[in-house]
Amino acid sequence: MKKYRVKPDSKVDLSKWDPEDSSEFDGNKEEGRAALAYLNGKLAELQEILYAEHKHKVLIVLQAMDTGGKDGAIRHVFKGINPQGVRVASFKVPSAIEMDHDYLWRIHQQTPGKGEMVIFNRSHYEDVLVVRVHKLVPEKVWKRRYQQINNFEKLLAEEGTTILKFYLHISAEEQKERLRARLEDPTKHWKFHPNDLKERQLWKEYLRAYEDALEKTSTRYAPWYIVPANKKWYRDLVIASVILETLKDLKMEYPQPQYDVASILRDFDALADNI
């Protein structure tokens, strides 16, 4: 899946990235789902070792346009994984208390500890996306945040956090159909808000904001992946594959016991029956 990784300091033109792409899997949707089920099992195994070893920290950042599929990706990619040691942090409009601090204050509190995997559903990147598009702060303020974010992520990486960032790339046509589907399904009405259509009118502005963010903050220690997301099953395969390969590269191991296993096994019955 290296083809989807944004190289540091490279130019990003999202019009050249096909949201319909599924070229790295030679199969159909049903075969893709079967492949994902296999990856789910492998991810579950590695996440258990991550938790048991209590050494590494893993941060996964998901960003997308409205309806891009962040919730669905979380639901499907991490299906079957033990919730112990895995946490989702969602970032909505900042509270009054959060607004009294710098924009990274609330983010740092949610970063993973040792043995933990944390998934950011939206993130600190909202402060160079929504904040920029809606002109909530002056341009000189949001422009300096790219370097601040790079410094923040470098700090996390140097302190032992593995960072993976995924931009779920959908087309404007696909977003239109997904918004319509939410209106046509009563069980999805709660996911729709009339403001979603107003936000859609800012599509080009958001694209430019994403292109800048991807260009300026994809680094060796915190890379961005542009994930084709029109096909939900392929989106999930890409994300799961990248996470799995990254966890494998950590070369994690179950911790060695701090006791004599052989001697306890030898006397196990006597010890266990002594009640």
CA–CA dist 77, 104 (Å, integer): 27
> Containing domain of residue 40, as a range?
2-272
CATH of the domain at 182: 3.40.50.300
Q: What is the sign, positive or negative, of the torsion defined by CA atoms of 133, 135, 140, 146?
A: negative
R_g (Cα) of the chain, nearest Å:
21
The burial class, CB within 10 Å (0-12 / 13-18 / 19+), for 166 is: buried
Which residue intervals of the chain are DSSP H helices? Answer: 29-53, 70-77, 96-99, 105-108, 130-133, 139-158, 172-184, 195-200, 203-217, 232-249, 261-266, 268-272
What's at 247, amino acid-wise? L
Element (H, E) at 163: strand 161-169
Q: Print pLDDT tens along the chain (275 aa).
A: 899 999 999 999 999 999 999 999 998 999 999 999 999 999 999 999 999 999 999 999 999 999 999 999 999 999 999 888 999 999 999 999 999 999 999 999 999 999 999 999 999 999 999 999 999 999 999 999 999 999 999 999 999 999 999 999 999 999 999 999 999 999 999 999 999 999 999 999 999 999 999 999 999 999 999 999 999 999 999 999 999 999 999 999 999 998 999 998 998 888 888 87
Evaluate if pTM is beyond 0.85: yes
Give the count of beta carbons closer than 10 Å to the beta carbon of residue 99. Answer: 11
Chain CA centroid to CA 112, Å: 13
Phi, psi of 118 (to 5 degrees): -120, 135
CA–CA dist 157, 46 (Å, integer): 20
Q: Tell me the residue length of the chain.
A: 275
CA–CA dist 139, 158 (Å, integer): 30
User: Which tokens go with 82?
Assistant: 């033990």
Domain count for the chain: 1
CA–CA dist 59, 116 (Å, integer): 8
Residue matched to tokens 């790079």: 150
What's at 203, amino acid-wise? W
